[in-house]
Every structure is written in C-alpha cells, then in structure tokens.
Amino acid sequence: MKFNTKTIHGGQENTDPAYGSVMPPIYQTSTYAQDTPGGHKGFEYSRSGNPTRTALENSLASIENGKYGLAFGSGLAAIDAVLKLLKPGDEVVSTNDLYGGSYRLFTSIFKDFGIKFNFIGMQNAADIEQHITENTKLIWVETPTNPMMNIIDIEAAAKIAKKHKVLLGVDNTFATPYLQQPLDLGADLVMHSATKYLGGHSDVVMGALVVKDKELADKLYFIQNASGAVAGPQDSFLVLRGIKTLHLRVQRHCENGKAVAEYLSNHPKVDKVYWPGLENHPNHDIAKKQMKDFGGMVSFTTKGNELQDAVSFVEKLKVFTLAESLGGVESLAGHPASMTHASIPKEEREKTGVVDSLIRLSVGIEDEEDLINDLKQALD
C-alpha cells in the first residue's frame, strides 16, 4: 500500500467481524467474559489490551512503516515509557532545543532517579558522537525541533547510534509520518504526541510509539501494561478517525505554512522566520532530503525583540487562536517563553533562540488569504 491508502486501510480489518461495521467499534469496556479461566478471545482486561486501541496501534505501525505500535494516555506518557527502559547511571544525549514538557520530564523526574541528560545542539549530527560515553543508552531527537524548527539529520544520527550500540528515538510530532518516516532512516523508535496532527482536531490527548524490533517492542509493551498509562477506547477511536484524513490535512498545512512563512519573511516588522522550507533555513538541504514537504509550523521574532510586541501581536489575532498545543485544523498562536517553554530556565531557553519576542504559529487549514490578513492586521 502507498501512504494515502495506509492512512485508511493500513493494519486494519476490512470490516468488524461481529456485525460488519466499516469503522472499528468503540469497545467501551474494562473487562471481557471468559468461558474458562484463561479462555478468552484475545482480550482480558482493557489496560492490557482493548480492540479499539489495538486497531489504532496497528494503524500507527502501518503509517510509520513499523511492526509494532503502542498508544498511551499522552505524548509524555509515551516518552516516560521509553525512559523506563533505562537504569540509574545510564545517560541520554538529547537535542537542546526540545519541547518544554520533555525537558521537564527529563530534568525534574528522571534526573532524580540517577539518569544523566546531556543537552546539545544537533544541527551538525557529527557533534553527537563526542558526547557519547560508555554509559550512553539513548539519543533523543526532535526534528523539526520545537519551537525553533531546527533540522537534525536522522540518517547520520542513526549511523552514530548503531556504531555505539545506542538506541535512537525520534519525536516525529511536527513532521508526522506523512512528511517523514524515521524508522526508514535508521531510528529504533518513533514517538508522537498524537494529540497534535495524528488526531488533528484538538479534541483528544494521546501519545504513540512505533518500533520495528520485537525485543524492544516486548519491553515497551511490558512497561505500557505495568505502568498503565494507556489510551482509552474513545480517544483511540478519535485518533484512528483523525489518521484517515492525515494526508489531506497535512498537505494543506504545508501549503498554508509556506504562504505564511513567505509573507512574514517580507514583513518590515519581522526579524527572523523559522520554517524548514525557506532556502536560508539552517539545514534546509537535509530537510529536503528527509522530508516530503516542510510542515505547517512556523516561528518568528519581531525587530527589537520586545516582550510587549509579542504579547500585543497574539492579543490582536482574530483567526489564529492564542492557545497551547498545535496540529489541529484551526490555526493557533503561542508565545513559547511564557507558555510551552516556561519550564525551561530563561538563560537556557535563550541559548537555543527562544527569546521574548518569539511567536510560534501552528498554521491550520483555513483559507490562506484569511490567515495572511489576520497576521497583517495583528502586526500593524
């Protein structure tokens, strides 16, 4: 199957065996009848497995060209499961420009359990190698990064990881499987905040992991069941439904993202624009190599770098909504320094470019002209 067909049929039964339902039913149940102890039809208890969640997990594996999918209660729950593969004394090399929630989980939770985190710039993938020690067990990559849209060469990172027998995990939330498939580039596991583009309608919170290796999958399934941060059947249904239009939505996100990035690049009040599709964007050539298109996430700063200018801009927006999160059909605007990245100390935040005037836009699928006009009136 090609990708567009996979979003609808990948990993799925053609019809539900009970009544021929075209869509997988929502099995809103906590437990399942057994005709004898251990005599069940594949499901015993919904923390361990639920038919609706299984349908989603099969779909996730299909669209990422993996073999095993796992759905969690949130993106952070999915990352939490990955970190539970580690032991005290283990080390992680992570990009220094990453989602604030990931940074908080690393430094405020798992650091206290004896796991060491090294946050480095990965724009030159070769720099990763000098930070790997005999205790390094995981390289954690976001690309494009949140919110600076930095591009990291997944294939180059994978070669380094394999050389040192280290796991490579890639947060593929911003790109989605439609634009980028890290497992095909050599990653060991892929993570998604399925809350974002996979769900696509700002009505669900969920996380996902996809892997190819059975041994790794078995460890993660054990952690998923033992820790219990699973996705419920209603949420699984919503994300499965969202995936069926992923290819259509992300293509429009990309088209509108390009229009917004080009408009902002030519605006006299705008200083810097961060969008991987711009030819002057750092590692634009790598983005061209590993991505099908460049996505709908755009960040920018205003001249003078004044906090009040950023606040005034987001308050004036009418079509864009000032809100946390991203990846829904509606356009959203955020101020990372005070919202998504507030958990990162100001000094650390600004080292990576998250300055006071930085605005992050999640460009939706509305009419391009309406989006441009909204930006124009808010900047004037």
* pLDDT at residue 340 tops 80: no
Q: Is 292 a catalytic residue?
A: no
* pLDDT at residue 86 tops 80: yes
Instruction: For residue 325, count other CB atoms closer than 10 A to its CB.
Output: 15
pLDDT per residue as tens digits for the range 99-124:
989 999 999 999 999 999 999 999 99
**Please, are residues 318 and 265 in contact by the beta-carbon 8 Å criterion?**
no
pTM summary value:
0.96
Number of H helices, E strands in the chain: 13, 12
Catalytic site residue from 6, 27, 80, 99: 99
The β-bridge partners of 207 are 72, 193
Of the candidates 270, 295, 268, the residue with the CA atom closest to the CA atom of residue 357: 270
Catalytic site residue from 196, 249, 258, 349: 196
Of the candidates 5, 2, 23, 3, the residue with the CA atom closest to the CA atom of residue 13: 23
What's the whole-number mean pLDDT along residues 160-179? 98
What's the whole-number mean pLDDT along residues 164-183? 98
Catalytic site residue from 47, 84, 241, 316: 47
Q: Is 221 a catalytic residue?
A: no
Per-residue confidence (pLDDT) for residue 96, from 0 to 100: 92
pLDDT per residue as tens digits for the range 185-196:
999 999 999 999
Place of tokens 């969920």: 206
The β-bridge partners of 334 are 360
* pLDDT at residue 249 tops 90: yes
Catalytic site residue from 80, 97, 153, 171: 171
**Please, are residues 246 and 7 in contact by the beta-carbon 8 Å criterion?**
yes
Q: Is 196 a catalytic residue?
A: yes
Q: Is 99 a catalytic residue?
A: yes
Per-residue confidence (pLDDT) for residue 347, from 0 to 100: 86
Q: Which residue has better confidence, 193 or 18?
A: 193
Task: Place 349 in a pLDDT band, splitting at 50, 70 and 90.
Answer: confident
Instruction: Give CA angle at 192 (186, 193), nearest 5°.
Output: 160
Task: Place 222 in a pLDDT band, splitting at 50, 70 and 90.
Answer: very high
pLDDT per residue as tens digits for the range 291-322:
999 999 999 999 999 999 999 999 999 999 99
